[in-house]
Amino acid sequence: MKQALLVFLGGGVGSVARYILSKWLNNLETSIPYGTLLSNIFGSLLIGLVLGYFAKTSNVSETQTLLFATGFCGGFTTFSTFAYENQVFLKNGDYFSFITYTLGSLVLGFLAVFLGLYISKLI
């Protein structure tokens, strides 16, 4: 029960942070939903940092992993919104935004995880 509560708390904070970021950046005069893109990329960087740091630190508990990685990063990033926004691009025939957003999200997301893991080795 404690584990579920930790994921719930971390996920709640992450979801609120994503909501604020999306409200701020998705209202820009552009077709690309930059709030979702940034939350997914920054969340990928953050999970790389967190899990990379936790992997090299022996005094990290399951509690911290559940709160930060599973909870916060899980709530902050969003695959379902990403999928929906891409569906809207396809429905509207905006293939350029679909390809740009999809490839940008995937490539930058992977690079952010790798960067986070690399940075965690340096600290």
What is the per-residue pLDDT across 4-59, written as a single tens digit (0 to 9) for each?
A: 999 999 999 999 999 999 999 988 778 899 999 999 999 999 999 999 999 888 78
Confirm whether residue 12 is marked as ligand binding.
no
Has residue 91 got a pLDDT over 80? yes
| CA distances (Å), origin 41, targets 17, 63, 73, 86, 104 | 14, 24, 11, 16, 9
Please check whether residue 117 is in contact with residue 45, taking contact to mean a CB–CB distance below 8 angstroms: no
What is the pLDDT averaged over residues 55-72?
A: 91
Confirm whether residue 74 is marked as ligand binding.
yes
Q: What percent of the chain has pLDDT over 70?
A: 100
* Close Cβ partners of 67 (under 8 Å, ≥ 6 residues apart): 6, 7, 9, 10
Query: How many domains, in total, are found in the chain?
Result: 1
pLDDT of the residue at 41 = 97
Q: What is the domain range of residue 75?
A: 2-122
Has residue 73 got a pLDDT over 90? yes
